[in-house]
Amino acid sequence: MQGFAGFMWLLSVALILFSGFALIDAAIRREDAYRAADKQTKPFWLIILGLAFVVNLIFNILSFLPIIGLIATIVYMVDVRPAIKGLPGGGRSRKGSSSDGPYGPWNGGR
Q: What was the pLDDT predicted at 1?
A: 77
Q: What was the pLDDT predicted at 110?
A: 56
Region of poorest pLDDT, from 8-12, 68-72, 93-97: 93-97
Q: What was the pLDDT predicted at 104?
A: 63
Q: Is 94 left (phi over 0), alpha (psi -120 to 50) or beta?
A: beta
Q: What is the pLDDT of residues 4-44, one digit of tens each?
A: 888 999 999 999 999 999 999 999 999 988 988 888 999 99
Choose between 49 and 37: higher pLDDT. Answer: 49
pTM of the model: 0.76
- Dihedral sign computed on CA atoms, order 73, 86, 104, 97: positive
Please give the Cα distance from 49 to 18 (Å, whole number): 10
